[in-house]
Amino acid sequence: MLHCLLFALLAACAAGAGSAQAQVPQAELRVRAGAALRSGGQQDAGPGLSYAGHTFDDLGLDAAAFVHPRLALRLSLQREAFSLVEGADAVTSGSLVRASLGPALRLGLGPLRAELGAGYELAQLPLFGDSRTPQLARAVRHAALLGARLQLPLPHGLQAELRGALPVTLAAHEAGGGAASASGFSAGAALLVPVAQRGRWSGALVLDAQHVRDAVASGDGSAHSTQRLTRLGLALQVALSEKVAPRSGALRLSVSDARTGLPLRYVPVALTSVGHEQGLRSSDGRGLLTAEGLAPGELWARLEVPGYLPAEARVQVVAGALTRLELLAQPTPYSPPPTGTLRVRVTDATSGEPLAGARVQLGEDALESDGDGTVSAPWLTPGPVAVRVSHSQYRDGEEAVVVVAGSETQLPVALTPLRKRTPALLSGQVRSAGLGRPLLAVLEIPRLGLRTITNAGGVFSVHLPPGTWRVVISAGEHLAQTKLVSVQDGEQAIFNVDLFPAHR
């Protein structure tokens, strides 16, 4: 237990060295009285002995004088009553004394207070000579004492104390002066209950418990004695301290959205105190940030996070006080994505005249050219755009152009006129086969929805667009015929038809 406590305190020395204290201790005095529960035994050339019992006159004194807020000189004195009884008869009795003196280093570990000590200890340990006729003979141990003490604050002003000590034997001797060997350790705990406070003086009632284990052996190995001691007692502690003005202040910063008032959670904030960078701190889940140990004076808080404009706020930090500051961040104004303008001008490829009413397809958008043959689209996303231009009297035109953000791109498109077509003239005569006489007949071209009737001489004429057409010819008392006729642009074609009578 002691080794673990020493290791934890040594590991925390660096952190504790910078802790601020609200008051400077100057002196402490603790006087204890209580009972001791003792058990032990001795092995020697005789039958040996063992014992167990208790005494009520166990006394102790512990005093510390501080030569520096963190350095004290600590003195400890203890008187242990001893009585060896067999049945109703006292065999041997007496008292044993322990005393230690040495420096102690006090450290602040946040709310905890720790103390590391080293010094000299003198301890009287029980030896009994020959166990057949035991007599209390005090062996003496001279040791370098390593100690540690830790005080923890509890609710209602109470304090818990843990402590331990490990003596490293330097020399030991029996009562007669012969060489001996010795070892041991101690561990204790206490509860401090404050009972008085007046000015620089304070008083506390201490409920104290301690466990001690010792072993001593004569130099020639003829006797070996061990004891286990449990002390339970009540102590009064008086302390003298000097209050000092705090040399630092604290900051409570709230970070929120200036538009909605909602807290900005887990965002980094840069603090600069009296010209010194304090590094980045982060707000918590409620948008709050607490910084302690700040030098009094002007403090700057700066926030730079995506989606918000840089925000700054300043405040005066006061020593010994909690200063509050609100940092409001304005959201970044919305910026629409960049666009470019495309201006298309449609003209006649032959005359160069502008074409009104042309359909201009820009990606998914369809526009119509104005009287100047122009179409303007200022909303296009920068990049390549496919352009398709069509007009009922012109061949379609297709182009590709790259739109540049923030500028106007011009695209001229010249359409080629469609060639004008001249209808073909189809003419001829419908006659009766064999007789050669003209017939009053009907000619139909279903695809064109065209129907014409010959005159009395069986003659007909009709204008057709260029192409191949199916012509149906019919007349009374004659078999109808279907023929294919091909005509070209502007052609004058002769088409004579002979129909066979229905009954020969």
393: in domain? yes
From 415, 441, 471, the end of a domain falls on 415
pLDDT digits (tens, 9 = 90+) for 384-417: 999 999 998 899 999 999 998 888 999 999 999 9
* pLDDT band with cut points at 50, 70 and 90 for residue 15: very low
176: in domain? yes
Residues 368 and 261 in one domain: no
Q: What is the pLDDT of residue 2?
A: 36
335: in domain? no
Number of domains in the chain: 4
146: in domain? yes
428: in domain? yes
Residues 188 and 219 in one domain: yes
Q: What is the pLDDT of residue 5?
A: 37
Residues 200 and 259 in one domain: no
Contacts of 182 (CB under 8 A, 6+ apart): 123, 125, 139, 141, 143, 169, 172, 214, 215, 216, 217
* pLDDT band with cut points at 50, 70 and 90 for residue 245: low
Average pLDDT, the chain: 87
pLDDT digits (tens, 9 = 90+) for 296-350: 999 999 999 888 999 999 999 998 899 999 999 999 887 677 889 999 999 999 8
Whether pLDDT at 65 is above 90: yes
What backbone phi and psi angles, to 5 degrees, belong to 261? 80, 0
**CA 31 to each of CA 12, 27, 78: distance values in angstroms, whole numbers, following the listed order:** 30, 14, 10
From 228, 243, 258, the end of a domain falls on 243
> Token pair for residue 415?
């359409």
Contacts of 351 (CB under 8 A, 6+ apart): none
Structural domain of 280: 249-329
> Token pair for residue 490?
């502007």
Strand order in the sheet with 450-453: 450-453, 441-445, 467-475, 481-487
Residues 152 and 238 in one domain: yes
Residues 361 and 445 in one domain: no
> Token pair for residue 451?
């129907």
Residues 239 and 255 in one domain: no
Residues 310 and 440 in one domain: no
Residues 298 and 395 in one domain: no
> Token pair for residue 338?
């960049």
From 381, 415, 449, the end of a domain falls on 415
Residues 135 and 211 in one domain: yes
What whole-number percentage of the chain has pLDDT above 90?
Answer: 61
Other beta carbons less than 10 A from residue 66's beta carbon: 20
Residues 319 and 349 in one domain: no
pTM: 0.48
**CA 275 to each of CA 249, 254, 278, 369, 430: distance values in angstroms, whole numbers, following the listed order:** 16, 22, 9, 66, 115
CB 194 within 8 Å of CB 204:
yes
Residues 320 and 450 in one domain: no
334: in domain? no
CB 253 within 8 Å of CB 288:
yes
67: in domain? yes
Q: Report the CATH number at residue 396.
A: 2.60.40.1120
Contacts of 420 (CB under 8 A, 6+ apart): none
Q: Report the CATH number at residue 35.
A: 2.40.128.100
Residues 55 and 165 in one domain: yes
Instruction: Tell me the residue length of the chain.
Output: 504
